[in-house]
Amino acid sequence: MTPERAAEDFWEWSIEVYARPGMKDALLKLQDRHHLNVNLILWAIWAAQAGWKLDEEKIEELTRAVDQFTRYGIERLREVRRYLSSPKKGFSERDLGELRDELLDAEIKGERMVQTRLAVLTATVAGERETMDLDDIMSAARTHFANIGPSLEKPVLLADSHGFAAAGELFEEVLQLALSEETA
């Protein structure tokens, strides 16, 4: 698979998977409660489903390639967009709504840029793709996920008392939702 084709496949797959019932809520919990990168979570599953098993070193390379842009670009856009979601005295709701929509468009464009970077790097550094059965795909996705958090410069902050185990449980839910067509 060419890097360009990988980028398109990842984006299209992500849009399809994100639209599944329950997926958005589970991913946003991982993002908001556990400060995990939704694009990396989706990548962990997509790469496994595409037949790639990456080791810890390559996963660290991938996460570092997108961490700064995610933290200082996408997350900042999201913070401002969320700030503008409540009324602001003296500012028109219509104008605030338009600005939120523009920020959301920029945020989504940034998300796509991150996904393109992840897919291109994966296709470049991951080596040959393997044919895997469902158990192998799930195992590879779990390995990818397990290696995402520790390699980030910003430590994973846990906003609830359940810790990383809760993040792992949510990832299992996301994994099941993402691979639900694989079992059909």
Q: Sign of dihedral through CA atoms 152, 118, 126, 131?
A: positive
Strand runs (DSSP E) across 98-157, as ranges?
Answer: none
Q: State pLDDT tens for residues 112-133.
A: 999 999 999 999 988 889 899 9
pLDDT at res. 100 = 96
Indicate if the pLDDT at residue 179 is higher than 60.
yes
Token code pair at residue 136: 């192998």
Distance CA 183, CA 38 (A): 23
Indicate if the pLDDT at residue 164 is higher than 70.
no
Q: Between these two residues, 162 and 10, which has the higher pLDDT value?
A: 10
- Model-level pTM? 0.85
* Cα-to-chain-centroid distance, residue 100: 21
**Helices (runs of H) and strands (runs of E) counted in the chain:** 9, 0
